[in-house]
């Protein structure tokens, strides 16, 4: 499929990589449905997209809430006249060690169930709900071609302090394979992108010495640009013989 043929829903579309994906696709002529909880971010995104070859329509919604997903998927489908693409990009962090002993008191504390469930809810249950609802509508309307792109992470291989996030991102890659097998008969392809460190506001907000230490683990010694991650998204969308796979864009961290 070509980018200018896409009617594509992007979760977490108001900020970070999601915002970059939304604007890049609209620049290429796609019609984008950007979904996010951040109403202000969605408003500024719509303003920024004015005059681009494509278009961006915005929708408020919570990917971890089943009723909300059904509602914004219906609204996007109706407003765009159908959909043929989905990018499961929305994600959150609630980092912490599984267990940690306080150096002063000796007390042992663990990651809270609340923080575990929050990350699993947004980062894994969210893509499940969105892909289920997206695929159901595709099938009800006689099948694809259509494509689902899941944004995973290099943390899927396991990363200290991220039990919840690593589990969610590993599960998302497993689901990419599973859904690729299940949905191919309906003309729906899947693909995952697993970024390493990306130059987004989260990374930019880190203390320079912390960032420098992190980048020492990257053979290329720098973070990715959002556009470099978008190149992977673009490949999954445009390569009609790609499905069920994950592309690491991590500067060589897994070498």
Q: Just list the catalytic residues.
A: 165
Element (H, E) at 194: strand 188-195
- Answer yes or no: are the C-beta atoms of 46 and 75 closer than 8 Å: no
> Residue 255 corresponds to which tokens in the numbers above?
């070498």
> What is the C-alpha separation between 238 and 221, in angstroms, rounded?
29
Q: Helix, strand, or coil here: 95?
A: coil
Helices (H), 184-245: 201-204, 208-215, 226-238
Q: Residue 112 corresponds to which tokens in the numbers above?
A: 């809270």
Give residue for tokens 């980018």.
3
Asked if 103 and 26 touch (Cβ cutoff 8 Å), the reply is no
What is the distance in angstroms between the CA of the first residue and the CA of the last residue of the chain? 31
| Alpha helix ranges (H) inside 81-207 | 113-120, 126-140, 163-183, 201-204
**Which residue reads 């609340």 in tokens?**
114
């Amino acid at each position: 499929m070509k980018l200018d043929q896409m009617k594509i829903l992007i979760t977490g579309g108001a900020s970070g990589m999601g915002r970059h994906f939304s604007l890049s696709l609209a620049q290429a002529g796609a019609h984008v449905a950007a979904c996010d909880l951040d109403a202000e971010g969605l408003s500024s995104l719509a303003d920024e997209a004015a005059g681009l070859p494509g278009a961006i329509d915005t929708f408020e919604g919570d990917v971890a809430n089943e009723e909300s997903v059904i509602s914004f998927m219906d609204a996007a489908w109706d407003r765009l006249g159908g959909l043929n693409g989905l990018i499961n990009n929305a994600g959150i962090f609630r980092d912490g060690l599984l267990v940690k002993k306080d150096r002063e008191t000796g007390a042992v504390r663990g990651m809270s169930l609340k923080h575990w469930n929050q990350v699993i809810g947004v980062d894994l249950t969210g893509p499940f709900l969105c892909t289920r609802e997206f695929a159901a509508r595709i099938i009800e309307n006689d099948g694809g071609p259509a494509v689902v792109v899941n944004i995973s992470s290099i943390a899927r291989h396991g990363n200290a302090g991220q039990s919840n996030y690593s589990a969610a991102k590993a599960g998302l890659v497993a689901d990419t394979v599973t859904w690729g097998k299940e949905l191919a008969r309906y003309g729906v392809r899947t693909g995952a992108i697993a970024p390493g460190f990306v130059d987004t506001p989260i990374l930019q907000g880190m203390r320079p010495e912390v960032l420098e230490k992190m980048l020492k683990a990257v053979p290329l010694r720098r973070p990715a640009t959002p556009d470099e991650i978008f190149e992977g998204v673009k490949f999954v969308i445009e390569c009609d013989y790609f499905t069920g796979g994950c592309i690491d864009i991590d500067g060589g961290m897994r070498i």
